[in-house]
Amino acid sequence: MIFYEPGTHKQHGFKHDPFKAFVTPRPIGWIGSIDADGRTNLAPYSFFNAMASNPPQVVFGSGSHADGSKKDSQRNVEDMGEFTVNIVAHALREQMNETSAALPHGDSEFDAAGIEGAPSKLIKPLRVAAAPVAFECVYLRTIELEHWSPPHRNFMVLGKVIGIHVSEDVVVDGLADVTKWSPVSRLGYFDYSTVDNVFEMFRPSSAPGPV
């Protein structure tokens, strides 16, 4: 076994930091937000996950710009208190990637990447019209994490899901069938994967059935 302390991977033969390759697959939260002037924003975050389901709560992890200033998504979410999370179907992978370009604050990735936005029902930020699933979220709080290289900063942004849009096309017999949209997930390096192999397992102590 190789053992190394974070930051020393090169001394152990790794060309690049493999940490993110170990925590895989990571779902991608494609975050839609809006600023105080009503300008829309859309960007992917793969430090993203659901942290609870009753009520549903999600988190995305945002780094900062090199000068320590916050990325637009975090800034908008904190300022306006609302965001959408759009689930990235395989068919949307290229558009999702395009929206990771660093545009000046206020320039819309919806427009730059030619992505059709759709209105949310309970909040102002747009959702991605073609996303098979989209959440409407309200901001809960931010937790600042450590960073090795100040003034760079790292944050966790937490939100609560208050509305869910689901395409009828992905519902089969009353269940959401992920193979209908093949969610894109992030691996390490420049690698991605999709869900194309689903199997069932039941917990020893519970009766069979979805939880």
Ligand X SMILES: Cc1cc2nc3c(=O)[nH]c(=O)nc-3n(C[C@H](O)[C@H](O)[C@H](O)COP(=O)(O)O)c2cc1C
| Interacting residues toward ligand X by CB under 6 A | 28, 41, 43-47, 61-63, 71-73, 97, 100, 102, 186
Q: Retrieve residue 116's tokens.
A: 């059709």
Q: In terms of CB distance, is 4 or 189 closer to ligand X? A: 189
Q: In terms of CB distance, is 71 or 127 closer to ligand X? A: 71
Q: In terms of CB distance, is 1 or 68 closer to ligand X? A: 68
Minimum distance, C-beta of residue 114 to ligand X, in the bound complex (Å): 16
Minimum distance, C-beta of residue 25 to ligand X, in the bound complex (Å): 11
Minimum distance, C-beta of residue 34 to ligand X, in the bound complex (Å): 11
Minimum distance, C-beta of residue 101 to ligand X, in the bound complex (Å): 6
Q: Per the omega criterion (within 30 degrees of 0), is the bond before 56 cis?
A: no
Minimum distance, C-beta of residue 158 to ligand X, in the bound complex (Å): 14
What is the end-to-end Cα distance of the chain in Å, rounded?
36
SS (H, E, C) the chain: CCCCCCCCHHHHCCCCCCHHHHCCCEECEEEEEECCCCCEEEEEECCEEEEEECCEEEEEEEEECCCCCECHHHHHHHHHCEEEEEECEHHHHHHHHHCCCCCCCCCCHHHHCCCCEECCCCCCCCEECCCCEEEEEEEEEEEEECCCCCCCCEEEEEEEEEEEEECHHHEECCEECHHHCCEEEECCCCCEEECCCCCCCCCCCCCCCCC
Q: In terms of CB distance, is 47 or 181 closer to ligand X? A: 47
CB atoms within 10 A of CB 24: 14
Q: In terms of CB distance, is 56 or 63 closer to ligand X? A: 63
Q: In terms of CB distance, is 72 or 136 closer to ligand X? A: 72
Minimum distance, C-beta of residue 43 to ligand X, in the bound complex (Å): 3
